[in-house]
Chain A
Amino acid sequence: MSEYRRREQSITLSPLEQQLGEHGEGEDTTQELLTLNFGPHHPATHGVLRLIVTLQGEIVRDVKPIIGYVHTGIEKTAEDKAYWKVIPVIERMDYLSYYFNAMAFCGAVETLIEVEVPKRAQYLRVIHLELNRIMSHLVWLGTSALDLGAISMFWYCFREREKILDLFEMSSGARMHTRYFQVGGVIEDIPRGFAEKLSGFLEEMPSRIDQYGALLNRNEIVLHRLRDTCPLDAETLLSLGVTGPLLRAAGNPWDLRKAAPYSSYDDFEFKIPVGTKGDNYDRYACRLAEMYESVKIVKQALAGLPEGPHITEDRKVALPPRHELATSMEALIHHFKLVTEGMRVPPGEVYFPIESPRGELGCFVRSDGSSKPARVHMRDPSFVNLQATAPAVKGAYIADLIATLAMLDPILGGIDR
């Protein structure tokens, strides 16, 4: 063996202590701890997240997240508005999964009012929710790959995202924050051409996800950076309150769509992708597989879309259709009352949890009998999942911290509300 090869073999990637231990006679093995501020303005923190990182060399010893830089007082604003006016406000919380925010709130209010959502509305809700899930995972994939250095993934993911936003624009008129979900159903039925465009999208989406997988799944750099980095086992995650793809990557198949189905999710057949090790690669693979499953759900929902009203017929909750306003006096009065005062909700407290792309999104609504809610609280999954950052990255390199943050998928709008 030549001298060169022998020297090559002496390069090791073992962590700092081992290296110091090998050469350590008489050498000072205590190193200073460096506290570094990963400021709120940083290209790699997804949003305005501030991390105080304590480093020993390149190894992370402690991470303290500081949040609140996007705190908007959404919950306070929601107390000031009528129930249906809360929906646009609450949508802007977790700004990548706006349909889920609206679904949680509408579900809570519907539970309070005890109004029945028609089947067609439930299926339409499922279609939009799963499209939103795909869209949220696409943005996650694009930006995470950008963090890892796979820059071209960003353009591919956003190309698909534009198609989904076109569909949202067709059904509701806006690309983001569409206020499409209303208490009792959805605000409008889908227009002509939506079903064709949607099925066209669903035909080609699985092959696109295959392309993303082909680019990243067995890429050497992705494997080096994501495999076996920052694993967390299911018990730690459960004690930290973490749900969603992070928990599923660790092996626990908890998914509210299967465990406690809401909005007709039990009519559809889909699988829950579950990982084994709980490292970054499993989190990535879980979310990628979830995109396939969401496509399946939308296909089934579109195929089985029943006829019927798109919002409840209860005129004390939902606006009457406009053509009725010309002929019916009651419709006019209902319209007037709903628009000026809003719907009256019987007093009570309700917590309505759903499965958002990041975990359990719950909405707590307390009503005191008037037309404005007395307390709206969103249990945001990112807020609770953020507590898993510190245990995950203790002892890992800074680069693993970046990769873990990317795989955690925090959305600061939801964290700060």
Chain B
Amino acid sequence: MEVKREKLGPGGADALRVRQLNSRQLLRGGELEGPTPSAHLEGADFERYVEESVMTTTLDKAVAWARSNSFFPATFGLACCAIEMMSIVAARVDVARFGFEAFRASPRQADLLILSGRVSIKMAPIVRRIYDQMLEPKWAISMGACCSSMGVFNNYALVPADKFMPIDVHVPGCPPRPEALMHGVLKLRKMVQDEPDQGWRERYEARGTEEVLDAQQMREQAKAATLAEQEAQAAAARAAMAITAGGDADMQDASGA
């Protein structure tokens, strides 16, 4: 592994230390000292000073980083691949190193469905229902050959998972080694880290079960709602007038005028 070394900037390690102490003072709102206190920094120096002392990122990236490092897999073992999935929880290939050891039994609390094993036609609607019960954002890994393609058994009883749910990562193998499944999970982690927009939703026109309205639509809906409300109020006022019209000619003249 190569270690890249970068220059510390003018002055070497001592000046860096001074800049670090200055930034600490700055945060505490105190007086600055040293050859170049930040209050006197300009332009590019100031930029570099800020970079060294503060980490900047977009909110999307931060959220994607958090999501990718805390998958909660759902316990969904179907057949032989489930045993190898249990192996990644075991000590040799330890999935807890990455933070994914919290296998949740309830799909409501899980966000990663590792489909491990062959999906028979009796089981397919149930898998779909479990997947639907998971909350957004959710991902699916198809582990093993049987759910990715048909695997060893290309016959009447099995359904490949692609037919009824969108899969993000396919892990081949029969069963895949625990290391291979770990590689697949880490690939998914990289995917989620790098692409916070969940591109497959656009590719597959799969909007899941949530309603997505864009801003324009929402504004129009709000306008229509207020219009309808005003209509209703006017109609109610007219109705009230009509009731009192017979007994009160003055009111009618007043409202008419």
Asked if A and B form a direct contact in the complex, defined as CB atoms under 8 angstroms apart, the reply is yes
| Interface size counted on chain B using CB atoms at 8 A | 35
Q: Given A39-B126, A48-B123, A176-B80, A72–B90 Cβ distance below 8 Å?
A: no
A68-79 vs B, CB cutoff 8 Å, 1 = contact: the mask equals 111111101100
Residue pair B90, A155 in contact (C-beta under 8 Å): yes
Residue pair B83, A89 in contact (C-beta under 8 Å): no
Instruction: Say which one of B150-158, B163-171, B198-206, B207-215 lies at the interface with A.
Output: B150-158
Determine chain A's interface SS by DSSP, over half rule.
loop
How far does the Cβ of B154 sit from chain A's closest Cβ, in whole Å? 8
Q: How far is the CA of A161 from the CA of B88 in the complex (A)?
A: 12
Interface membership of A92, Cβ < 8 A: yes
Interface membership of A96, Cβ < 8 A: yes
Residue pair A70, B79 in contact (C-beta under 8 Å): yes
Determine chain B's interface SS by DSSP, over half rule.
loop
Interface membership of A372, Cβ < 8 A: no
Residue pair B126, A70 in contact (C-beta under 8 Å): no
Q: How far is the CA of A39 from the CA of B125 in the complex (A)?
A: 13
Interface membership of B142, Cβ < 8 A: no
Instruction: Say which one of B18-26, B43-51, B57-65, B114-122 lies at the interface with A.
Output: B114-122
How far does the Cβ of A274 sit from chain B's closest Cβ, in whole Å? 29
Interface membership of B70, Cβ < 8 A: no
Best-buried of B75, B79, B87, B117 by chain A (most CB within 10 Å): B79
Interface membership of B77, Cβ < 8 A: yes
Which B residues lie within 8 Å of A176 (CB)? Answer: 80, 83-84, 175
Interface membership of A241, Cβ < 8 A: no
Q: Given A95-B80, A413-B80, A73–B155 Cβ distance below 8 Å?
A: yes
Q: How far is the CA of A371 from the CA of B86 in the complex (A)?
A: 38
How far does the Cβ of B197 sit from chain A's closest Cβ, in whole Å? 30
Contacting residue for A48 out of B78, B84, B155, CB 8 A: B78
Q: How far is the CA of A177 from the CA of B151 in the complex (A)?
A: 13
How far does the Cβ of A41 sit from chain B's closest Cβ, in whole Å? 6
Q: How far is the CA of A387 from the CA of B181 in the complex (A)?
A: 35
How far does the Cβ of B123 sit from chain A's closest Cβ, in whole Å? 4
Residue pair B157, A73 in contact (C-beta under 8 Å): yes
Residue pair A76, B126 in contact (C-beta under 8 Å): no
A140-176 vs B, CB cutoff 8 Å, 1 = contact: the mask equals 0011000000000011001101100000000000011
A residues neighboring B (CB under 8 Å): 39-43, 47-48, 68-74, 76-77, 80, 88-89, 92, 95-96, 139, 142-143, 154-155, 158-159, 161-162, 175-177, 412-413, 416
A-B contact pairs, 11 of them (CB 8 A): A47-B78, A47-B79, A69-B120, A70-B117, A70-B118, A70-B123, A72-B120, A72-B153, A76-B155, A176-B80, A176-B84
B residues neighboring A (CB under 8 Å): 75-80, 82-84, 86-87, 89-92, 105, 107, 117-118, 120, 122-123, 126, 130, 146, 152-158, 174-175, 177
